[in-house]
C-alpha cells in the first residue's frame, strides 16, 4: 500500500441494518438473543443493486471496496456451507457477496473482504483472551478456540476460493491467539493478497481507525490502511445519523494518504440494500474534493527538502517531478511563504481549483531577522476563505 496507496469504500452491511441503529445493536442495546436473531427473517433487501455501489465508489475516485462478510454477530453475508445463519436463509436468499464480486469485476473495482474474529452466534465463538465478547455464547462453559478456528479456517477458504481475486483481507478484533497457519492459507489461496494486523498473526499492514492522528505527521514506516465512517455513531446503517463534516473527513483522508497510507471511507446500506442519499451525497462530496487532487495522493514519495514553510505546516510529497504541499489543517492567510526552495518554480497550481498561483521572490517585512526583511518564495492569491471546508493542496513544478 505504501507507494501504491489507494482510496477505498468500506461497507458494513448485515441484517442489523433493519434496526436503523448500529452494526452492534445486539450488544449496544442489549437485545435478547431470540429477539435479535429473529430479525434475519425480516431481512429482504429487494433494492440491493451492487452495480450502484460500485459506480458510486468509482465516481468518488475509489479503487477498491472492502465488504463485511461476517460481523461480530456471526451472520454470514455469503453462501456458506458452515452455518444456516446466513443471507441464504433470509427472505432474500441470494448470495449478495457473489453479486458484489461480479459487479466489481465488471467495473474494474478491486474487492477486499472483512471477517470478524468475534462471533456471537457460534457455540465455540467465545474467546476470553479477546475483546468484543459481550454477546458471545458462554453457557455450559463453551470455550473451544481450536474448534472455532477450524470453523474460521473453512469459512475463509470459502471466501477466498469462490469470489475471484481478493485484494486485501481485513480481520477484525485481534483474537490474541497466535496461529500463523491461517494467514499462510490465505496467501496460498490468494497469492499477492495483503492481510491486516488484526488477525492470528502479524499481517502486512496496520489499521488505525476513527480519529487517528500521528503526533508527528511523518511518512508511515509500515504499510497502513486507516478507516473511518461517514457517520459518528455507527459503521452500519443508522437512521438520523450524526454525520461528520466534509472538512473532518477530507482532512483525515488528506493527512493519512499524504503520509503514505491507504484510506477506507465507510457507508452502511439500509435494510433494503440501498446506500441512501444522505450517505451517498457525502461520498460524492468527498469524492469531488478527492478527484480534484488528480491522483497526487496516490503512489507518491516523501519530499525531504527543508522548505521551512513560514507560519503554516504542510506534509510535502513528490510525484512525477512535482512537489505537493498538503496543508491538512488549512492556511492562515491568502499566501504561503517558503524560506528555502531548490530553484524558481516553473509553475504553481492550487489543486483545489486547478488554477495557477502567482509566485515570486519577495522580501516580507513581517518575517524579519535582526530587523531586516527576509527573502521568501512568496505564493499568493490563494482563495483561503472559499476553501474552509477542505484541505488546501498546492502543486509546484520546479
313-to-309, 336, 337 alpha-carbon distances in Å? 7, 10, 11
Q: What is the pLDDT of residue 4?
A: 82
User: What is the grid cell recorded at 282?
Assistant: 457525502
User: Which strand (E) or helix (H) includes residue 57?
Assistant: helix 50-59
Residue ranges in the chain whose pLDDT is less than 50:
1-2
Residue-wise pLDDT tens digits, 243-277: 999 999 999 999 999 999 999 999 999 999 999 99
354-374 burial string, b = 16+ CB within 10 Å, else e? Answer: eeebebeebeeeebeeeeeeb
Q: Can you give the pTM of this predicted structure?
A: 0.96
Element (H, E) at 254: helix 246-258
C-alpha cell at 396: 509546484
How far is 324 from 316, CA to CA, in rounded Å?
Answer: 6
Predicted confidence at residue 215, as pLDDT, reads: 53
With the C-alpha atoms ordered 55, 58, 63, 65, is the resulting torsion angle positive or negative?
A: negative
| Spatial separation of the C-alpha atoms in residues 96 and 158, rounded to whole Å | 14
Separation between Cα atoms, residue 336 and residue 136, nearest integer Å:
55
pLDDT at 143 (0 to 100): 87
Domains of the chain (ranges; CATH) run 7-292 (3.20.20.80), 301-397 (2.60.40.1180)
Q: What is the dihedral of CA 219, 299, 9, 179, to 10 degrees?
A: -60
Q: Are 391 and 330 in contact (CB under 8 A)?
A: yes
| Residue 319 bridge partners (DSSP) | 322
Please tell me the distance from the alpha carbon of residue 40 to that of residue 27, in angstroms, as a whole number. Answer: 16
Amino acid at each position: 500500500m505504501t507507494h501504491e496507496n489507494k482510496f477505498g469504500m468500506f461497507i458494513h452491511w448485515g441484517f442489523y441494518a433493519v434496526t436503523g441503529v448500529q452494526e452492534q445493536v445486539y450488544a449496544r442495546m442489549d437485545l435478547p438473543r431470540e429477539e435479535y436473531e429473529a430479525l434475519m427473517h425480516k431481512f429482504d433487501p429487494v433494492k440491493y443493486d451492487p452495480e450502484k455501489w460500485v459506480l458510486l465508489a468509482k465516481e468518488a475516485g475509489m479503487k477498491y471496496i472492502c465488504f463485511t462478510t461476517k460481523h461480530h454477530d456471526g451472520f454470514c453475508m455469503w453462501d456458506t456451507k458452515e452455518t444456516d445463519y446466513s443471507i441464504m436463509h433470509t427472505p432474500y436468499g441470494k448470495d449478495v457477496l457473489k453479486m458484489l464480486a461480479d459487479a466489481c469485476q465488471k467495473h474494474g473495482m478491486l474487492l477486499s473482504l472483512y471477517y470478524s474474529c468475534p462471533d456471537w452466534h457460534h457455540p465455540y465463538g467465545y474467546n476470553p483472551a479477546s475483546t468484543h465478547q459481550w454477546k458471545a455464547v458462554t453457557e455450559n462453559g463453551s470455550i473451544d478456540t481450536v474448534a472455532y478456528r477450524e470453523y474460521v479456517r473453512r469459512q475463509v477458504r470459502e471466501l477466498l476460493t469462490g469470489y475471484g481475486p481478493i485484494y486485501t483481507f481485513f480481520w477484525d478484533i485481534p483474537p490474541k491467539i497466535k496461529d500463523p497457519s491461517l494467514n499462510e492459507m490465505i496467501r496460498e489461496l490468494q497469492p499477492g493478497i495483503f492481510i491486516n494486523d488484526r488477525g492470528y498473526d502479524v499481517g502486512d499492514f496496520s489499521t488505525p481507525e476513527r480519529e487517528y492522528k500521528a503526533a508527528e505527521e511523518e511518512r508511515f514506516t509500515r504499510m497502513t490502511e486507516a478507516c473511518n465512517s461517514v457517520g459518528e455513531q455507527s459503521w452500519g446503517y443508522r437512521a438520523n445519523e450524526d454525520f461528520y463534516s466534509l472538512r473532518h473527513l477530507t482532512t483525515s483522508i488528506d493527512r493519512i494518504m499524504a503520509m503514505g497510507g491507504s484510506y477506507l471511507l465507510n457507508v452502511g446500506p439500509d435494510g433494503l440494500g440501498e446506500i441512501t442519499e444522505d450517505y451517498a451525497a457525502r461520498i460524492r462530496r468527498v469524492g469531488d474534493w478527492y478527484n480534484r487532487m488528480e491522483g497526487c495522493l496516490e503512489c507518491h514519495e516523501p519530499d525531504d527538502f527543508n522548505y521551512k514553510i513560514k507560519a503554516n505546516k504542510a506534509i510535502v510529497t513528490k510525484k512525477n517531478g512535482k512537489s505537493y504541499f498538503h496543508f491538512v489543517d488549512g492556511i492562515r492567510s491568502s499566501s504561503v511563504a517558503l524560506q528555502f526552495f531548490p530553484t524558481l518554480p516553473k509553475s504553481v497550481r492550487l489543486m483545489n481549483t486547478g488554477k495557477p498561483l502567482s509566485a515570486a521572490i519577495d522580501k516580507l517585512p513581517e518575517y524579519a531577522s535582526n530587523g531586516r526583511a527576509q527573502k521568501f518564495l512568496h505564493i499568493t492569491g490563494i482563495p483561503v476563505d472559499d476553501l474552509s471546508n477542505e484541505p488546501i493542496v498546492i502543486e509546484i513544478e520546479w
